Each structure stands twice: as structure tokens, then as C-alpha cells.
């Protein structure tokens, strides 16, 4: 327990009266009386705050939160006493999070409950918890503040940003996927796999007409096709040190996981099976599986996975995947490549291409393009510009080498990775090359 501002105000007034009493001895009696009254009030107020019961607190927060997204945390406070209570609160929130709205000072009416809230934005994935609540109770006469820590553990999991999936589902339902940058090519019922028979529509190709059904029903009947289903997609996720690179609040690894979630949702809705394998760090394997519930399995598999400080071993990863995945699949390798990686990367990709179709997605540091856009005023600026341009040209030559060997290649800044991966996947599905 420690003095509140009102106690210091009373002490200041008493000291002012002491100075006046030293100049006019006739008011010493008043100064002594004021000291006794002030001391009695402080002691009574201290006794009252000491015996008051604590405030009851409840916390309401989802058990899982998306990385890098603002979320609301609700606190419910109940005052069981017959007097209103003034209290300052500060929640013991998980570390590696941004915070808005704390600490707070609240007045809780007598025998009543109130709700308050603040905002939390997690910046690191994994299992964590809210540990408790820090409270400062003001005494009834505001002479004292009493500190109390209420242990209120709430375990939570910080997942990759699954809010993108919700946004995709909403836009898909409203036929507004173009606003996300996802291309929707118009088709007239043609695809690779038979779906159903239906009445002829204007614009249907003649080869779609089922003449036997037309003869039977005495009207034109067309065949409707869909993209081939029941194919398999495997994410080959680099957990090496280059994925520690960070653009803004999120690392390249976190951006990769966000892209994986979006493409997983799209692929599962297309009827395909999803699996994954990590390498150059903690190794995890998830065999391909279908159903939309696979999204939850992927989330629980990846939510606490962190990139390591190991070098990326592409060839060893390719050998392990070839042993585990026997059926032909679309392999999506996500990494942060350099031109010097080709000597090891190219043999690994050639090994995978013996059986599978391979997409390589390489994340590019956003600052590289920002450097090129900056004006050149001094010699140091010119050196920085030339060095950056030289690096990007070497990177482009490495990319051209991979493309010349038939590798589907994406080189993109992290923010554009989810949409570009989805578009490339849809192109592959429509082309039938898988």
C-alpha cells in the first residue's frame, strides 16, 4: 500500500500551515489539530481499504488468435461491496504483442459489474498465455492505493493469419475475388473431368452436346466438366536461416505460412488433398489429406514452428520427400533464394521433377526495390544503387536458369505471395498439366 495523490495534497497543505505557524506562533494549535485530524483520516482510510474485499475479474479472449491482427480482449470486473470503487488495471498480456488501451482507470459502482476492453496484436506465433491482472485499488477517501495481483491464467495459441481465409471466403461468396487480385477466367462448362449433364445454354460448344441424352429427352443436353479433382499438393517449407528475414512486423517465414493457409483453403475447396514437409530446422511431415478440416490440422501443425539458424539443405529435403511421397503431386517449395543456391538447388529440383510438378516460390526483400526507387544525390547513394542493381541482376539470372529447366518460378515480395501462389495454382489446374 502506498500514498495516493490526495495524501500528498493533504501533506502539502499541512506543511504550508506549518510554515505559517512558524511565522505566527498563535496558530500553532491549529497546525497541531490539523496534523491529528489528517493522521486520523489517513489511518481510518488505510484500515478501510485493507479490509475491503477484492474485485472479481473475468477475462474473455478467443483461445486462438491470428498473427499480426488486432483482437479485442474483454475484462469483466465485479464490485461486491456497498461502496463504489476506483481502480487502475493492467493486464499481464503475452509478450511479443502490441497493445492499445492499457492501463485503464475505472470507477465500478457498488454491487455492480462493468466491462472494459483493450486491443492486442500478437507478433509471434506459438503457445502463450495471459498470466494475471495487476490492480491498484484506491481507498474510499482516496488517501491510499493498494496493489494486488490476481492470478488469472488464460492459455492461448497464436496461429498464422487465418483472417485471410475468412476474407477469401467472403469475397468468393460475393463473387468479388478480383478485389483480392485473384484471377477468375470465364469458362463455359469445359474442363478436364466430367461433372454432370444439363440443358444446353447459349455459348456451349458443339463438342459438349451429349447426342444420346439429347435424343432421349428431345432437347439439347450438354456435358458439363470441372477441373480434375483428387490431386495432391505438398508444401515443402524451408525453415532455414534466410526465412528469418523480416519486412515490417512479420518475417518471411510468417508470410509463407499465411500464403500456405490461403492456398490450402482454395485447394481443399477444389477437391484436392493437402500435405506438407519442413526441412533445415525442425522436421515435420503431414501426409496429404482431404476435407476442409485439414485447414485446422495444418494450423495445429505449423502454429508453433519457427525458422532455425541452419543453412537450407535442398537436396536432402528432395530425397526425403521422394521417399515419402510416391504419388505424383504438385510440390510447392517456399524459400528465400540467392544466386549461389543454384548449384545445390537445381539437382534437388531435377530430382523432384522426375515424378512431380514443382513450383518454386522465392521471397524477395522489399527494401531492394525501395533502394532502387530512392533518388541518387551522393556517391554513397550511387554505390548503394549500383550494388543493389547488381544483386538483382544476378538473382534474375539464377531465376532464368531455373525457368530454362522447366521449373515454374515465382519471385515476389512477401505481401504478394498468397495471391500469386493461388493464381499460379489455378492456372495449373485449368491447364491440366498436373
* Band (48; pLDDT cuts 50, 70, 90): confident
Q: Determine the number of helices (DSSP H) and then strands (DSSP E) in the chain.
A: 11, 20
Contact 369, 396 (CB under 8 A): no
Domain ranges within the chain, ordered by starting residue: 1-159, 193-226, 232-431
Lowest mean pLDDT among 18-27, 106-115, 154-163, 384-393: 18-27
Whole-number pLDDT of residue 176: 52
Distance set, CA 250 to CA 91, 122, 152, 239, 247 (Å): 24, 10, 29, 15, 6
pLDDT tens for residues 329-368?
Answer: 999 999 988 767 777 888 899 899 888 999 999 888 877 7
Please provide the average confidence, as pLDDT, over all residues in the chain.
Answer: 82
Q: Is the pLDDT of residue 87 over 80?
A: yes
* Band (169; pLDDT cuts 50, 70, 90): low
Whole-number pLDDT of residue 5: 76
Lowest mean pLDDT among 2-16, 266-280, 304-318: 2-16
* Class of 1-159 in CATH: mainly beta
Q: Please state the φ and ψ torsions of residue 304, each to the nearest 5 degrees.
A: -110, 10
The reply to whether CATH 3.40.50.410 applies to domain 232-431 is yes
pLDDT tens for residues 115-157?
Answer: 999 999 998 899 999 999 999 888 877 778 888 899 999 999 9
- Residue holding cell 456451349? 204
- Grid coordinates given for 52: 475491503
Q: What ranges make up the beta strands (E) of 170-220?
A: 193-199
Q: What is the dihedral of CA 240, 245, 248, 254, to 10 degrees?
A: -10
Contact 239, 308 (CB under 8 A): yes
Q: Please state the φ and ψ torsions of residue 322, each to the nearest 5 degrees.
A: -65, -35
> Whole-prediction pTM value?
0.72
pLDDT tens for residues 285-300?
Answer: 999 998 878 888 998 9
Q: Which helix (H) or strand (E) holds 423?
A: helix 417-431
Closest alpha carbon to 239 in 226, 248, 252, 229 = 252
Amino acid at each position: 500500500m502506498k500514498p495516493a495523490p490526495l495524501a500528498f495534497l493533504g501533506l502539502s497543505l499541512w506543511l504550508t500551515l506549518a510554515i505559517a505557524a512558524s511565522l505566527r506562533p498563535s496558530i500553532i494549535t491549529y497546525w497541531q489539530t490539523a496534523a491529528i485530524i489528517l493522521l486520523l483520516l489517513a489511518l481510518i482510510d488505510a484500515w478501510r481499504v485493507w479490509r475491503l474485499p477484492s474485485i472479481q475479474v473475468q477475462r474473455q479472449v478467443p483461445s486462438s488468435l491470428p498473427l499480426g491482427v488486432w483482437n479485442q480482449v474483454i475484462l469483466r470486473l465485479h464490485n461486491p461491496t456497498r461502496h463504489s470503487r476506483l481502480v487502475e488495471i493492467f493486464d499481464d498480456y503475452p509478450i511479443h504483442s502490441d497493445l492499445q488501451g492499457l492501463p485503464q482507470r475505472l470507477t465500478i459502482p457498488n454491487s455492480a459489474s462493468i466491462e472494459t476492453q483493450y486491443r492486442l496484436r500478437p507478433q509471434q506465433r506459438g503457445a502463450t498465455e495471459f498470466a494475471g491482472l495487476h490492480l491498484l485499488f484506491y481507498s474510499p477517501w482516496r488517501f491510499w492505493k493498494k496493489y494486488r495481483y490476481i492470478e488469472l491464467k488464460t492459455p492461448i495459441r497464436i496461429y498464422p493469419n487465418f483472417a485471410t481465409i475468412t476474407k477469401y471466403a467472403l469475397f468468393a461468396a460475393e463473387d468479388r475475388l478480383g478485389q483480392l487480385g485473384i484471377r477468375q477466367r470465364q469458362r463455359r462448362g469445359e474442363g478436364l473431368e466430367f461433372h454432370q449433364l444439363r440443358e444446353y445454354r447459349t455459348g456451349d460448344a458443339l463438342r459438349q452436346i451429349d447426342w444420346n441424352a439429347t435424343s432421349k429427352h428431345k432437347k439439347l443436353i450438354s456435358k458439363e466438366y470441372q477441373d480434375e479433382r483428387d490431386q495432391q499438393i505438398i508444401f515443402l517449407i524451408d525453415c532455414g536461416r534466410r526465412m528469418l528475414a523480416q519486412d515490417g512486423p512479420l518475417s518471411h517465414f510468417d508470410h509463407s505460412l499465411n500464403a500456405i493457409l490461403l492456398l490450402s483453403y482454395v485447394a481443399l475447396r477444389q477437391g484436392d488433398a493437402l500435405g506438407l514437409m519442413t526441412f533445415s530446422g525442425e522436421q515435420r511431415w503431414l501426409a496429404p489429406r482431404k476435407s476442409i478440416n485439414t485447414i485446422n490440422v495444418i494450423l495445429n501443425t505449423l502454429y508453433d514452428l519457427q525458422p532455425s539458424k541452419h543453412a537450407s539443405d535442398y537436396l536432402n529435403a528432395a530425397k526425403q520427400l521422394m521417399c515419402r511421397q510416391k504419388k505424383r503431386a504438385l510440390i510447392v517449395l517456399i524459400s528465400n533464394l540467392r544466386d549461389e543456391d543454384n548449384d545445390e538447388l537445381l539437382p534437388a529440383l531435377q530430382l523432384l521433377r522426375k515424378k512431380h510438378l514443382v513450383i518454386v516460390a522465392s521471397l524477395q526483400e522489399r527494401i531492394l526495390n525501395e533502394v532502387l526507387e530512392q533518388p541518387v544525390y551522393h556517391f554513397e547513394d550511387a554505390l548503394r544503387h549500383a550494388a543493389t542493381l547488381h544483386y538483382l541482376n544476378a538473382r534474375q539470372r539464377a531465376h532464368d536458369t531455373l525457368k530454362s529447366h522447366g521449373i515454374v518460378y515465382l519471385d515476389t515480395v512477401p505481401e504478394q505471395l498468397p495471391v500469386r501462389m493461388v493464381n499460379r495454382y489455378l492456372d495449373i489446374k485449368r491447364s491440366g498439366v498436373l
